[in-house]
Structure 1
């Protein structure tokens, strides 16, 4: 386990470890600086998805599953500030339909089981296995990571489910009964009036949610202070994927979104791989539910971010990364 920083004054052995971590010579992706376009077979043909490796470590490799659906890898750029000094190899990844990856227009591709098979194809292409493969999923990525584990956990060394409850019904109830009543009454009444008319794409509706809900429960900062990776991520979000699976906003899953009835609470006991669940005090997801998930899986740990919301890698960064790094290092050292 390496606890040094390459910016401090390392010992000679630490310097050697830094050099090995940063050395891309002999890597098949050296020409593109760690980038690999991976062919993905789907029921509608073959497409390519974008990945980028950072670092080298034969026993600690983390594949990052972004949220959305249809968001981008950009929301994890802050991992650059924490993983390298811990000697953790990690992979940025735009899922099919997202940013640098192919963006086919066939809506039938935005299907949870197909995404699970996509992750498995990415794993194989990157050479990840049970000796080194940690799967991190946040929000929609947490849905995808948990479904992947239910089918392919034999390939995993560790699983991280961040900011995602295991039932959309529970998610919607928490939003409606706990979080929504905390909004100013006039704002809530206006939002609910648009929802009653199913005017989910109305600019006023979306503007009110962004101003009054997102700044409390998605990322606890005024919109004009949002980190650049978040702004770019929203700018590059693919609405076809997002609306098809999630609906028009983070204010619960609405309409005919394909994830509306998703629920795996009764299957969590099937997950045996070391699992970290991450919850945040001000999240759109109930942190008590996230803690409960850690007790339902067979080998779990819970990380609470007391200052954070849905994107706690930014608004509670110290607690988030301290706990996440400790989990990866503990599993790697056999001390979990």
Structure 2
């Protein structure tokens, strides 16, 4: 069975509505999943008009009313925009709406109406103006699902990375890493790839210091204190995990095919290799959410500078939908 994927519109002043419509213009999207948009129908219709498509908009009160038919875009309409929204502008209205779209998607996922969530980008400044003080999607999802142990995973065709820490400064990131967190993220990587059908995922842990500390030559023993105990514990339980490895060679080896996923220690260590490989194909995945909720997202921002011009690239949205379909449980309410 094809899973039902809820697609949140993100910041309506950005490119989110356009890349959603462009992604739903591909027949292969409907071959992979049953997509339903969670957003505002007037914004969706505006995007359809800008792009010159003749799609019909099917407003549904419940996901069960959706048609899931190419050429008809199903939408759970929250009807939050009373006036024409200006493109490319930070506004409290669009920021608050982006939060409400995601909040509705989480409720649908909890109720098993949708099997996974795929998010278009939001704007943090706009969301803060709208009264929601979160660093980003991941933290919102963790709060809405009452989840404490979660992680950000980035995926591209050649590389998968999962993070020990994300949106904190480098000094704080190193302080936050401990054997318990490292062990938990290794387990999240293992469980996520296993659920996606990979029987024995090969997991590699990246070192914190240059050359992974080189036996105490660099750093203050962080690898031995913060990483090694967790690697040994998981390995003793049958997880195929090794490391820590020097970052300057590990990502090359992973892209070559030596490993299925890399555990990165901090934000830029994991993000840079993925983005060098191509922004268009990168997918941001939140793993470990309570209830087994899967969330994928484009790996780019709202692109206010090109919003409303119809030129935004939908490839990252297509990749995010593909990942959502692959990782989502296949049984939901009918």
Normalised by the size of structure 2, how large is the TM-score?
A: 0.31
TM-score, with normalisation over the residues of structure 1? 0.30
Determine which structure has greater relative contact order: mean sequence separation of CA pairs < 8 Å that are 6+ residues apart, divided by chain length: 2
